[in-house]
């Protein structure tokens, strides 16, 4: 019973839930948790991305070049589909987002900025590159990867100008971002074997079987949808999409009924919290820089419709 109580308290502190009596040091733990900046929501991240594009367009125009913003998706269409999808209305409309992904892929292939750049003369292309990110002579930012090695990014020109305006320190944003976004490699396997999460997934699976969708976990459901889509082919695309929406809606409904999202969120927060002794400063710095960027982004671009 003591081990269960300790585990519950760890999850609650990680999820920033105020609970009395979990430990003698509960007050200090709650205060530290309350002072930690939360992660940006996907809506906030999207608005920062839109602000980056708007500022880049303005900067490139000052250098004499055109630059197109990508705002092809509505706010609702831009919603990311994560391991747990519990928005039933969204799933009934978009399934797992396959048609949104296909449309986005087509738009990337027709990238107007790439087409514009290719249409420039060789000297103007070089000048475009220098204006955008410093070109071949730009300095490089480096960030270590948690699994070993490092990743590099060219910084200069409008890219550096925009990131400085939004984040303040492009190098720190880049470094801490690579740390935070790769933390999953340190706990992902343990999370997927976590007893509380696997119990919730089993409950989800039982719910899915009752709905006529015999899948072991959310990933298996999506894999089955992709396989069926490939089997039916383009000629039966509407039929495949209807089946995708039925599976996705059942998936989201069962996720809600079993509280799968709440369990997954709490258990992931627990494992991230256990890494705070090593990476807490990087996590908090990354989130603070993100909130700084968002606070500036709201004065630059409106939220998508």
The answer to whether position 46 is within a domain reads yes
Rounded to whole angstroms, the Cα distance separating 61 from 71 reads: 18
Query: b or e along 183-213 (b: 16 or more beta carbons within 10 Å of the residue's beta carbon)?
Result: beebbeeebeebeebeebbebbbebbeebeb
Determine if the pTM surpasses 0.75. Answer: yes
Question: DSSP assignment, residue 136?
Answer: G
Rounded to whole angstroms, the Cα distance separating 236 from 239 reads: 5
Domain of 54 in residue numbering reads as 42-183+275-297
Q: Which residues of the chain have pLDDT under 50?
A: 1-31
The answer to whether position 66 is within a domain reads yes
Rounded to whole angstroms, the Cα distance separating 234 from 1 reads: 56
The answer to whether position 12 is within a domain reads no
Q: What is the pLDDT of residue 22?
A: 38
Per the structure, the count of domains in the chain is 1
Rounded to whole angstroms, the Cα distance separating 116 from 119 reads: 5
Residues 6+ apart with CB under 8 A from 228: 240, 243, 244
Residue 103's Cβ-count burial label (10 Å; 0-12, 13-18, 19+) is middle
Q: What is the pLDDT of residue 33?
A: 54
Rounded to whole angstroms, the Cα distance separating 221 from 204 reads: 11
Q: What is the pLDDT of residue 237?
A: 87
Q: What is the pLDDT of residue 6?
A: 27
The answer to whether position 292 is within a domain reads yes
The answer to whether position 225 is within a domain reads no
The answer to whether position 244 is within a domain reads no
Q: What is the pLDDT of residue 188?
A: 94
The answer to whether position 249 is within a domain reads no
The answer to whether position 221 is within a domain reads no
């Amino acid at each position: 019973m003591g081990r269960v109580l300790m585990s519950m308290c760890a999850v609650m502190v990680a999820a920033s839930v105020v609970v009395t009596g979990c430990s003698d040091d509960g007050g200090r733990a709650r205060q530290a948790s309350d002072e930690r900046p939360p992660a940006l929501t996907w809506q906030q991240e999207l608005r920062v991305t839109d602000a980056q594009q708007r500022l880049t367009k303005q900067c490139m125009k000052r250098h004499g070049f055109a630059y197109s913003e990508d705002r092809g998706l509505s706010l609702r269409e831009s919603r990311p589909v994560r391991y747990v999808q519990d928005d039933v209305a969204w799933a009934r409309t978009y399934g797992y987002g396959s048609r949104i992904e296909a449309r986005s892929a087509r738009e990337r292939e027709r990238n107007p900025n790439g087409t514009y750049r290719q249409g420039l003369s060789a000297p103007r292309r070089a000048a475009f590159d220098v204006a955008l990110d410093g070109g071949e002579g730009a300095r490089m930012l480096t960030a270590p990867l948690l699994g070993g090695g490092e990743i590099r990014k060219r910084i200069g020109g409008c890219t550096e100008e925009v990131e400085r305006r939004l984040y303040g320190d492009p190098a720190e944003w880049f470094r801490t971002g690579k740390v935070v976004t790769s933390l999953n490699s340190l706990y992902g396997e343990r999370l997927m074997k976590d007893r509380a999460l696997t119990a919730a997934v089993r409950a989800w699976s039982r719910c899915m079987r009752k709905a006529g969708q015999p899948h072991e976990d959310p990933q298996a459901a999506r894999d089955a949808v992709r396989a069926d889509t490939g089997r039916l082919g383009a000629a039966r695309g509407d039929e495949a999409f209807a089946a995708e929406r039925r599976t996705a809606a059942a998936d989201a409904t069962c996720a809600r009924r079993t509280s799968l999202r709440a369990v997954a969120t709490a258990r992931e927060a627990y494992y991230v919290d256990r890494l705070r002794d090593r990476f807490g400063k990087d996590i908090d710095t990354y989130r603070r820089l993100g909130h700084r960027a968002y606070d500036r982004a709201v004065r630059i671009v409106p939220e998508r419709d």
